[in-house]
Amino acid sequence: MMAGVAVPSVPTSAGGQERPERERIERLSQAPITFDQPDPDRFDVRGVPVLLLEDRDLPLVTVLVGFEGGYGHFPREDYAAATAMPSLLRYGGTSDMDPAAVDAELETYAIQLSFGSGGGAISSTMNTLSEHLEVSMDIWGRMLTDPGFDTDEIDIWRGRQLESVRRRPDDPSTLAFSEFNRLLYGDHPIGWEMDEADLTPEALSRERLERLHRRIVCRDNMLVGVTGDVSWRELRSVMERLLERVPECEAPLPEPPLPDVRREAGVFVIDRKIEQAVVVLAHPTDLPLADDPAYFAATIGNAILGAGGFSSRILSRVRTERGFAYSASSLWTTPRTYPGLLGAVTRTRPETAVSAIEVILETMRELRSQPPTEEEVTTAVDRITNGFVFNFDSPAQIVSRTMFYLAQDLPADWLERYLRGVQAVDARGIGRVFADHLRPDDMTILVVGDAERIGWEALESLGPVSRLDVPEPGPPESGPRGGPVGGVGS
């Protein structure tokens, strides 16, 4: 007799009939489960939008603030100072407290802080016990609005960045992505990479930092979100005092420049004697993030092409069928105001680099010529739908996302629109969006790897080949060095 898991029998009456309990179980019904997204309340304080979502589960309050005004709004000579701003706001002290004194205050009140930045904005988050909200907001407000820009901390940040510049060629993936951005976006903030010319003492002078701080940390650039154990009645006066510290903007921020994106196909090689070749290939695409069927079709199409993990075509072909690489993925970026990229990335042995590229291009051509199967579409849609609940993990996540929608001029119910749009995608819509936007023969292809093992002739089969001369990694040069102090975005 085969051993196995015992299956419990259904209770029966003496005559072999199922008991009435079974009938009652089968008649049970449940009302449909509905989910209503909690929406933050919106208030305006001194012209600044403030979002509040109460959460009384724990005696904690989280405050998030965003300022439009990352390095993308300023010329290249301000790149280092704008990039350093979040780290120096956190670690540079205030005008009346040195960095050690600030850290002591944060420790005393168990205040947790993070600071970060992107090309278009800087942000900070403060988490505190609700009983310490008033004093925590005072300390955090001074850090945001009255920074000390301690010279020692400036030197530490500069030293760490110089070390990072020198080490960049050590990592083939970092090198590939940075050089690819430079190839396609050129002298534009998207294509910028920090170099030693950006990191002169003059570029990080206190005067420059203070000037940029005045341009960025001001009310017209500001959004605030609050969640936790606090009501608007309790919060209002505290928020008033915080925003009293924030001055009005001296002038509007400069608009970020629109990039002149490279649109010519080509093959570029960075010769490195390494065991894995890094491949990046893409071309520009003008499909923006928008409440539009084409955008939703592109989202699902990208998952089917290569962004959906093991169920996607590129990984299946490159890894499962051919064994060329452990990982491979597609990418389809959809910025709001400038062209994005449509392409793929992978790592493989130098001897199989060209073959892997050919498989990726052929997979793209297949999706251009015929739509995906209904099963592929259902799988991709279900992955997004089933993960929808994770957009509501915490009240802070909900508030942060709502702030992002406001900053991007998206509707407040964008997430619901996104879900409905994704669920409405069908195979024909994906076929149309690939036919309109995917151009495998127009790819810019960058390979970082051992050119001799890859084979120059094999590379030339993909198109005209250009060699990029990027300095090899070398021993560290003399100069300032950073310690173990840093912050998000540093």
For the stretch 100-110, pLDDT in tens is: 999 999 999 99
* pLDDT score recorded for residue 17: 54
* pLDDT score recorded for residue 474: 54
Contact call for residues 278 and 176 (beta carbons, < 8 A): yes
Q: How many CA atoms are closer than 13 Å to the CA of 69, on its beta-carbon side? A: 27
78 pLDDT more than 50 = yes
478 pLDDT more than 60 = no
- The rounded distance, in Å, linking the Cα atoms of 168 and 422 is 38
- The rounded distance, in Å, linking the Cα atoms of 5 and 7 is 6
Q: Are strands 340-348 and 328-332 parallel, antiparallel or unpaired?
A: antiparallel
16 pLDDT more than 90 = no
Q: Which residue has the tokens 């051509």?
A: 365
Average pLDDT of span 463-472: 90
Q: Is residue 454 exposed (0-12), middle (13-18) or buried (19+ Cβ within 10 Å)?
A: buried
> Strand, helix or coil at 324?
coil
pLDDT confidence tier of residue 10, bands split at 50, 70 and 90? very low
Average pLDDT of span 451-478: 83
Average pLDDT of span 190-199: 95
387 pLDDT more than 50 = yes
Please name the residue ranges forming H helices in 217-268. 232-245
Which amino acid type is present at position 120?
A: G
- The rounded distance, in Å, linking the Cα atoms of 88 and 437 is 42
Q: In terms of Cα–Cα distance, which of 330, 300, 301 is closest to 315?
A: 330
144 pLDDT more than 90 = yes
What percent of the chain clears pLDDT 90, i.e. is strictly above it?
Answer: 80
- The count of other CB atoms within 10 Å of the CB of residue 123 is 22
Q: Which of 23-27, 75-79, 271-275 has the lowest mean pLDDT?
A: 23-27
* pLDDT score recorded for residue 18: 53
Average pLDDT of span 288-305: 96
More confident residue, 478 or 324: 324
- The rounded distance, in Å, linking the Cα atoms of 238 and 232 is 10
1 pLDDT more than 50 = no
For the stretch 406-432, pLDDT in tens is: 998 888 889 889 999 999 999 999 999
* pTM metric for this prediction: 0.84
Helix or strand (DSSP H, E) at 166: helix 151-167
Contact call for residues 287 and 337 (beta carbons, < 8 A): no
* pLDDT score recorded for residue 4: 43
pLDDT confidence tier of residue 476, bands split at 50, 70 and 90? very low
List, in order, residues 6 or more apart from 74 with CB less than 8 Å away: 82, 212, 215, 254
- The rounded distance, in Å, linking the Cα atoms of 426 and 373 is 9
Q: Mind listing the domains of the chain with CATH numbers?
A: 41-245 (3.30.830.10), 266-467 (3.30.830.10)
pLDDT confidence tier of residue 32, bands split at 50, 70 and 90? low
pLDDT confidence tier of residue 232, bands split at 50, 70 and 90? very high
Which amino acid type is present at position 253?
A: L
Contact call for residues 288 and 336 (beta carbons, < 8 A): yes
Report the mean per-residue pLDDT for the chain.
Answer: 90
pLDDT confidence tier of residue 472, bands split at 50, 70 and 90? confident
For the stretch 123-135, pLDDT in tens is: 999 999 999 999 9
Q: Is the dihedral angle over the CA atoms 477, 478, 482, 484 positive or is it negative?
A: positive
More confident residue, 12 or 352: 352
* pLDDT score recorded for residue 473: 63
For the stretch 281-291, pLDDT in tens is: 999 999 999 99
436 pLDDT more than 60 = yes
pLDDT confidence tier of residue 486, bands split at 50, 70 and 90? very low
pLDDT confidence tier of residue 19, bands split at 50, 70 and 90? low
160 pLDDT more than 90 = yes
Name 113's bridge partners. 126
- The rounded distance, in Å, linking the Cα atoms of 441 and 381 is 28
| DSSP code for 448 | E
392 pLDDT more than 90 = no
For the stretch 308-363, pLDDT in tens is: 998 899 999 999 999 999 999 999 999 988 999 999 999 999 999 999 999 999 99
Q: Is the dihedral angle over the CA atoms 243, 247, 248, 251 positive or is it negative?
A: negative
Average pLDDT of span 195-220: 97
User: Rounded to an integer, what is the distance from CA 396 to the centroid of its chain?
Assistant: 17
Torsion angle (degrees, nearest 10) of CA 46, 49, 55, 61? -60
14 pLDDT more than 80 = no
pLDDT confidence tier of residue 169, bands split at 50, 70 and 90? confident
